[in-house]
Amino acid sequence: MVRNKVNSLLKQVTFATATLNEARERFSDRLAPEFSIFDYLRTDEIGLSRCIASLLDPKGTHGQKNVFLEAFLARLNWPANIEIRSIELEKQVNGQRRIDIYLRFENGEIIGVENKPWAGDQKNQLSDYAAFIEKEAGGHRWCLIYLSNYDPSGDSGIKDKQEVLENEGKFIRLSFPAIIEWLEECACKSKALVVRMFIEELTKFIRSNVNGKLEMSEENEIKNIVLASSETLASAFHISSAMTKVKEALLKEFRDEIKKKLEDKGFELIWDDALSNGWKSCSGFNIKFKKEHKLFLRFEFNASGLNDFFWGIARESKFIKKDEIIWNQINAVMNDRFGSGSKPEEHWPWWSHIDRKEFSQAYRNWYSSETPWIAIKEKKLADEIVKLAVHVHSAFGENLALLSAKLPAN
């Protein structure tokens, strides 16, 4: 009985989404539903922070003066009638740490925004930021905003004092759905059409790539089908409760398939246990070209729940010390073959988001996107990963020894 109801619901949803896709295809020349300006812009944390900061700046090129800033401050219960002195991106705190957005007001008050759409917290990161802002404010009002859909991690250093700071209005966790509400308000208040269009595109990007929402028309169609009757609602819950097991089964298929294909190439697969259990942040898998290599090709989910998928060359363990010369050489090899990626970091000589031709934005957040799971089911994803591994291997060529260089231990 349950099986028949579930099958019926799946058929209805499949038909509805297929109809919408057909309509998109038919009217794509007039509506361009898949086109987004953010496909051509920097869309990592820094790029997203720059977009938000530019809207908050009363002197910004948007020309709307204080309108967007006042709407933002109203959500924080912060006085909106104060002049802003400066807005900085990547405000240096200490060493390599930087606060994503830093607002300083003429009366000495300060707001810092730590933007976490995907990445996890570094050790004592938030407690260090709070201490820095408090010192800089010099007795004036201050606040650290944690922009994320998740609570701060235990490593952030803020947990033991979070409740006190929240009660004092000095720490606020702001979700991206709340940011979307702010952006929608900004779009309504913008007098310039070009600015309103930009804000709408930014909203669409956050909704899809950070919040993992379906396109609005598709989401509404599925919602209406699910709410059509008690039976369809019950079937939807049966499907929802089974999805974790479905994903676990597909991941096992993927692991077994890619392991065999890599062995055929003489490569080794190293699969994180966390990728099969719990789906914590920073879980992933490695591809080792030779057993003696201390650096390998790695694919990782930067956020929990199989979100923010990226790849690069990583060190085998934290006990291997970064070597500036070797890291820069590896970075140059990867940039030359795969385009500009990140600058060398402690753990990663080079990394990049999954946005190559073979891996569209739909592969970025596996929690909500069906694309990677379909690719696994159709046995295509393992082929693409192995193809990329072979490409990386050939990129190093005579420089493959860089991955097995003798590196000092930390």
Please report, for the domain that includes residue 71, its CATH number.
Answer: 3.40.1350
232 neighbors 12 (Cβ within 8 angstroms): yes
What pLDDT was estimated at residue 34? 58
Q: What is the structure's pLDDT at 5?
A: 56
Same domain, 79 and 147: yes
If asked whether residues 23 and 49 sit together in one domain, one would say no
User: Quick one: pLDDT at residue 1?
Assistant: 54
Question: Within a domain: residue 205?
Answer: no
Strands (DSSP E) found in 182-316 = 268-271, 283-288, 295-303, 307-315
Q: Bridge partners of 147? A: 115, 174
Same-domain status, 267 and 181: no
* Residues 52 and 111 placed together within one structural domain of the fold: yes
- Domain end marker among 228, 261, 279: 228
Among 169, 197, 228, the domain-final residue is: 228
282 and 376, same domain (yes or no): yes
CB atoms closer than 10 angstroms to residue 228: 12
Residue 203 maps to a domain: no
- In this prediction the pTM is 0.62
If asked whether residues 120 and 248 sit together in one domain, one would say no
Q: Quick one: pLDDT at residue 339? A: 80
Give the long-range contacts of residues 75-80, CB within 8 A, separation 24 or more: 75/174, 75/178, 75/181, 75/182, 76/111, 76/143, 76/145, 76/172, 77/169, 78/111, 78/143
Residues 122 and 259 in one domain: no
Query: 103 phi and psi, to 5 degrees?
Result: -105, 125
**Are residues 306 and 326 both part of a single domain?**
yes
What is the structure's pLDDT at 80?
72
| pLDDT, position 345 | 85
Domain count for the chain: 3
Strands 307-315 and 295-303 come out as antiparallel
Report yes or no on 251 lying in a domain. yes
Q: Looking at the structure, tell me whether residues 122 and 142 fall in a common domain.
A: yes
Residue 156 lies in a domain: yes
User: Within this chain, do residues 29 and 141 fall inside the same structural domain, yes or no?
Assistant: no
Instruction: Please indicate, yes or no, if residue 28 is contained in any of the structural domains.
Output: yes
CB 334 within 8 A of CB 312: yes
Residues 6+ apart with CB under 8 A from 105: 82, 83, 84, 85
- What pLDDT was estimated at residue 387? 93
Residue 196 lies in a domain: no
Strand order in the sheet with 110-115: 84-94, 97-105, 110-115, 142-147, 171-174
Same domain for 75 and 169? yes
What pLDDT tens digit does each residue of the chain (410 aa) get? 556 554 564 566 464 555 545 555 554 455 445 556 656 566 677 888 999 999 999 999 999 999 999 999 999 888 877 788 999 998 888 766 889 999 999 999 999 999 988 766 777 889 889 999 999 999 999 999 999 888 887 778 887 888 888 888 889 999 989 999 999 999 999 999 999 999 998 988 888 777 665 455 566 666 777 677 777 777 667 667 778 888 999 999 999 999 999 999 999 999 998 888 888 878 999 999 988 888 999 999 887 788 888 899 999 887 788 888 999 999 999 988 888 777 888 889 998 877 655 677 788 888 878 889 999 999 999 999 999 999 999 999 888 888 876 654 44
What's the gap between Cα 164 and its chain centre? Answer: 29
Residue 371 shares a structural domain with residue 283: yes
- Asked whether residue 139 is assigned to any structural domain, the reply reads yes
Listed residues 228, 261, 281: the one ending a domain: 228
Give the structural domain span for 305: 244-404
